[in-house]
A = this chain, B = another copy of it.
Amino acid sequence: MRTIWWEEGLKMIDQTLLPEKLVILEVKTIRQLVEAIQSLRVRGAPALGAAGGYGVALAAQKSTFSDSENVIQEMEMAGEMIRQSRPTAINLAWGVDRVLRAASRCEDADEVRERALLEAEAIAEEDLAVNRAIGKNGARLLEDGDRVLTHCNAGRLACVGYGTALGVIRSAVAEGKDIQVYACETRPLHQGSRLTSWELSQDGIPVTLICDSVSGYLMRKGKIDKAIVGADRITSDAVFNKIGTYSHAVLARFHQVPFYVAAPLSTFDRVLQEADVTVEERDPDEVRRLGTVQLAPRDVEVYNPAFDATPLEYVSALITEKGIFRPPLMPPV
């Protein structure tokens, strides 16, 4: 099963209900899509690329105009809403723009609708192919017996399928290597416990769940051979990824553990630098509450950034569909 797909409408796994329930969400409006993105029902850079593309395609299907100009205008308005729903995630804008660009070449409203959906489907298919290529390239870096730390979920649930960081692990396992994964739970939203440990367990890949604060201690005890994470945006100077990535990267550097970032070329931002990127701050209640449990005083101040930035020089290698690049080497545009 894919994470997001089109089947008589836009469908996706509602990731907020995992690991207890596997529920398929039917997305019928742009407003519903924006809510799904903001609530992290769909998340992960590559999956957001597909969500952006499918979202614009959805706007096209729903438009009742019969002239292409008005349909495209509605698609552009939808695209803007989608783009703004999670501004740090570059793939979202990338998927939106790609479908808009493809559709804008059409002259007839029905052709716009058809072209938009085809382009969104192409994004999804390419994502799968790209992830398999990332996996194959990255698997060269993993050795039989490696114990690999990962943070958040850069798995098939973060993509249309297969995964980036976890795709590398899947490929290594498929090659017959014995890999043990340490999955950081990833506070505050537990993508590591809810998603990574779920999808690895489903695939029969050995996984041990840890609190985020345990990674340094495991490295000190010599129990981590490699660390591998995904990315939400890679500028010329830094990797933006789930909050906590930076700490793991510094700890890895300190303990001489190779630190790898696996990401498709669509994650690379060739324009902005670290200082130009706004890091999204999320609702304090994500940290103050969990379910019905009040974890902290209701009015206590909270700093809850969604991402952090890791300087590229702390990254041992970038794993892409075009090969492995060791910073300061970067993949060609």
Contact = CB atoms under 8 A, between A and B. Distances in A.
The binding surface of chain A is classed by DSSP as mixed
Interface stretch (A55-63, A74-82, A86-94, A287-295): A287-295
Instruction: Count chain B CB atoms within 10 A of each CB in A188, A190, A210, A297 and give the residue with the most.
Output: A297
Best-surrounded residue of A208, A217, A244 (most CB of chain B within 10 A): A217
A27 interface: no
A222 to B, nearest CB: 14
B287 A217 contact: no
A9 interface: no
A186 B301 CA distance: 16
A102 interface: no
Given A19-B296, A207-B300, A301-B208, A215 B247 contact: yes
B301 A20 contact: no
A250 B217 CA distance: 10
Interface stretch (A42-50, A109-117, A193-201): A193-201
B190 A187 contact: no
B208 A243 contact: no
Contacts of A209: 284, 287-288, 296, 300-303
Interface in A202-231: 206-218, 220
Copies in the complex: 2
Interface string A262-289: 0000000000000000000000100110
A193 B297 CA distance: 8
Given A188-B211, A247-B216, A247-B217, A290 B287 contact: no
B215 A212 contact: no
A185 interface: yes
Contacts of A184: 213
A243 B292 CA distance: 25
A232 interface: no
A268 to B, nearest CB: 22
- List 10 A-B pairs, minimum CB-CB distance, nearest first: A213-B244, A216-B247, A193-B296, A291-B293, A217-B308, A187-B211, A212-B213, A208-B301, A193-B295, A197-B300
